[in-house]
Structure 1
Amino acid sequence: MDSLTQIVLGAAVGEAVLGKKIGNRAMLWGAIAGTIPDLDVIARYLTDTITATEMHRGFSHSIVFSILMAPILGWLVHQIKKRPDVGWKGWSWLFFWGLFTHPLLDAFTTWGTQLFWPFETRLAFNNIFVIDPLYTLPFLTCVIIAMTRRRGTLSRKRINNLGIYLSTGYLAITLLLKWVAHTKITEALENQNIAYTQISTRPAPMNTVLWNANVDAGDNYLIGDYSLFDSEPVSFKAYPKNRKASEKLASRDEVKRLINISEGWYILEKEDGTWIYNDLRFGLIPIDPENPQFVFRYKLTEENGTIIATEDRPETENMDAVLGTLWERIKGN
């Protein structure tokens, strides 16, 4: 999830663990703990794009990391604060839950987390977008109100807990909404007599009303979307896999690593003589409605016998139009 959401979650967890003893400072340290796992983004400045992408939401988002780092951070803060009523164990407990709930929440997003590192299994339930106002804003409101209540009071505890219950409840609802969308999309495939081997559904940006689907249909990927307000059948657009044309490039070690990252959901295509690697998991962005492009794409070049991947993110100049298109689609077809 986005940084603000993780800060809010960490603050609420900090309050739940130590708020009765140290008040708002528990929220502060919890917020700090909630941001630490995302420091893996520093890898972007220290290594190549492919390696940094492999590391993202890896070790720092694992149970192992939480268990190892919590006592270290707890001991360090204990040396600074010297609070006998909290102690090293109390600080360690706060940091463990702040560190652990971060990847636990991220597991519900499309990118997922390697919660069980060093095992390569990546948990990605694909039921919430990385930025979702309906998850974050009510939670943030409860945390802010709780901050204004006196330490140790029942009202403070109840308001903080309410934020945790509301956000967790919403997360559970998104799983139900995903099931509804997935069912509608699979029914559309059956009604249209489309044979497929895999299907992946995920929410469109910043909502859980509109859902996108990737469908593996042999030589093509089919991409479609479904809004809970739709009255017309789901339609799909085909995107050729280009496996034969890109076979040689796809056999290179660096590209194999990208394929592993995207769990096989990819298209390699040439644009103006340059190979582009498209990661299909995050869908399309209609900067140009006539020619939408994939959100995550990499330009591939060769230097000294090594494939170099460079992120090629969509331009943000027309984002107002993109958001307008998204809103119209959410309202149904």
Structure 2
Amino acid sequence: MDPLTQGLVGATAAQSGADKDKLRPAAFTGAISAMIADLDYYIHIPSDPLFNIEIHRQFSHSFIFIPVGALIASVLLWWLLRKYLSFKELYFYSILGYATAGLLDTFTSYGTQLFWPFLDTHFAWNLISVIDPIVTFGLILFIGFAFQKKEKKYVWIAGGWLSFFLLFGWIQHQRAESAAKSLADSRGHTIEKMVVKPTIANQLLWRVNYISDDKIYTDAVRTGLISGIDIYEGEYAPRIIIEEEFSGFEGTIMYKDLLRFKNLSENFLIRHPDQPEVIGDARYSMLPTELIPLWGVKTDTTQTENHLPFLYFRDASEEVRESFMNMLLRK
């Protein structure tokens, strides 16, 4: 999730294991420890753009790295907090905070390699958006009360607030998935693979992608708060099969990069409709009914021994925002 929410959840976890007189330093420790995990975002190899995408939410978010990450956080925080906490206490609160980083991100849609290096699987439960202002506001409020009043009851309320929205997200996800399967059935499609995930900053409007007969479909499902399902049918496009379309380039850096991007994109690969040389991730777009990818790699068959450029295609125009809000608000 976003760094602020990540820090707030880390603070909640650390405070849950702290005595009343240690709530404030515990909160600070947990918050910083949770956010440190996302420093992997800044690890780059300039000549290999995909490296940063692969490394993000990898080793630093895995279960096996929690003791190491917490130790790094403890060492960095020791000179600031040594007057308030022993190193043993500091390390304990750091572990509680750092442990939330990978788990919390797993509830979002991007995916986290929790069992690296034993598995390279990206776990993504798709229950909450990477940015959810309602969740974040509640955490700010209750953690703020706990910090100011030194009362642990607010810590449990903060945990309950987060748990409620994760449970609500699970219910909404199930409803959206059920509606999407019914839509596919009505089209006579056999689903080979499906991804259902919330759109930005809400748990009402969901993006559905599924693969059927080597085509990728995208639709939007609005689940509402309690009842009512609205479906906004979207686009479809041929799925790009790297092993077939680029078989003549096997063994080249370009081909290897395409396979890496295939793995990162869970094989939801399409061509950008306006830039056919770009292979994009069909799971992400500005609008849930469109297959204009948010990002992709640009192929150049005359430069097969160079790493592929990684490009972004964000369009936050007024027209796009209006279309999104119309679906979200059922207009």
Distance 1:215 1:26, change over 3 A: same
- Which one of the candidate residues 213, 232, 235 is aligned to 2:233? 235
Aligned partners of 1:36, 1:48: CA distance in 2, in Å?
Answer: 24
Measured on the aligned residues, the alpha-carbon RMSD in Å equals 2.7
In structure 2, what is the equivalent of residue 30 of structure 1?
30
- Contact 1:19/1:26, CA 8 A, preserved across alignment: no
Structure 2 counterpart of 1:183, one-letter code? S
- Which one of the candidate residues 150, 154, 158 is aligned to 1:159? 154
- Contact 1:255/1:307, CA 8 A, preserved across alignment: no
Aligned partners of 1:270, 1:187: CA distance in 2, in Å?
Answer: 28
Shift of 1:59: 0.2
Shift of 1:305: 1.6
Aligned partners of 1:13, 1:191: CA distance in 2, in Å?
Answer: 45
1:329 aligns with 2:327: yes
- Contact 2:239/2:268, CA 8 A, preserved across alignment: no
**Normalization by structure 1: what TM-score?**
0.86
In structure 2, what is the equivalent of residue 122 of structure 1?
122
Which secondary structure does the structure 1 equivalent of 2:113 belong to? coil
Aligned partners of 1:305, 1:134: CA distance in 2, in Å?
Answer: 47
Distance 1:143 1:250, change over 3 A: farther
Structure 2 counterpart of 1:182, one-letter code? E
Structure 2 counterpart of 1:228, one-letter code? T
1:209 aligns with 2:204: yes
In structure 2, what is the equivalent of residue 314 of structure 1?
314
Distance 1:206 1:253, change over 3 A: same
In structure 2, what is the equivalent of residue 268 of structure 1?
271
Shift of 1:236: 4.3
Shift of 1:330: 1.6
Shift of 1:209: 0.6
Deviations 1:136-194 (A, max 9, x none): 11111111222221x3xxxx211121011111121111011100110111012112322
In structure 2, what is the equivalent of residue 179 of structure 1?
174
Which secondary structure does the structure 2 equivalent of 1:182 belong to? helix
In structure 2, what is the equivalent of residue 257 of structure 1?
260
Which secondary structure does the structure 2 equivalent of 1:99 belong to? helix
Aligned partners of 1:38, 1:264: CA distance in 2, in Å?
Answer: 25
In structure 2, what is the equivalent of residue 285 of structure 1?
286
Deviations 1:231-271 (A, max 9, x none): 65553422122448833488511111110111111113575
- Contact 1:49/1:311, CA 8 A, preserved across alignment: no
- Contact 1:246/1:269, CA 8 A, preserved across alignment: no
1:53 aligns with 2:48: no
In structure 2, what is the equivalent of residue 106 of structure 1?
105
Which secondary structure does the structure 2 equivalent of 1:216 belong to? strand
Runs of 4+ in 1 over 6 A off after TM superposition: none
The equivalences for 1:1-16 within 5 A come to 1-16=1-16
The equivalences for 1:216-231 within 5 A come to 216-229=211-224
Moved more, 248-257 or 117-126: 248-257
In structure 2, what is the equivalent of residue 139 of structure 1?
139
Distance 1:269 1:285, change over 3 A: closer
Which runs of no fewer than 5 residues in structure 2 stay unpaired? none
Give the percent of matched residue pairs that are identical in Structure 1 and Structure 2: 22
Distance 1:46 1:67, change over 3 A: farther
Aligned partners of 1:281, 1:173: CA distance in 2, in Å?
Answer: 22
Aligned partners of 2:157, 2:173: CA distance in 1, in Å?
Answer: 24
Which secondary structure does the structure 2 equivalent of 1:297 belong to? strand
Shift of 1:207: 0.7
Aligned partners of 2:308, 2:50: CA distance in 1, in Å?
Answer: 8
Distance 1:134 1:249, change over 3 A: farther
Aligned partners of 1:270, 1:236: CA distance in 2, in Å?
Answer: 14
- Contact 1:200/1:215, CA 8 A, preserved across alignment: yes
1:294 aligns with 2:293: yes
Equivalent pairs, count: 321
Structure 1 counterpart of 2:329, one-letter code? K
Which secondary structure does the structure 1 equivalent of 2:18 belong to? helix
Shift of 1:76: 5.8
Aligned partners of 1:188, 1:276: CA distance in 2, in Å?
Answer: 29
Distance 1:75 1:247, change over 3 A: closer
Aligned partners of 1:72, 1:41: CA distance in 2, in Å?
Answer: 17
Aligned partners of 1:250, 1:146: CA distance in 2, in Å?
Answer: 59
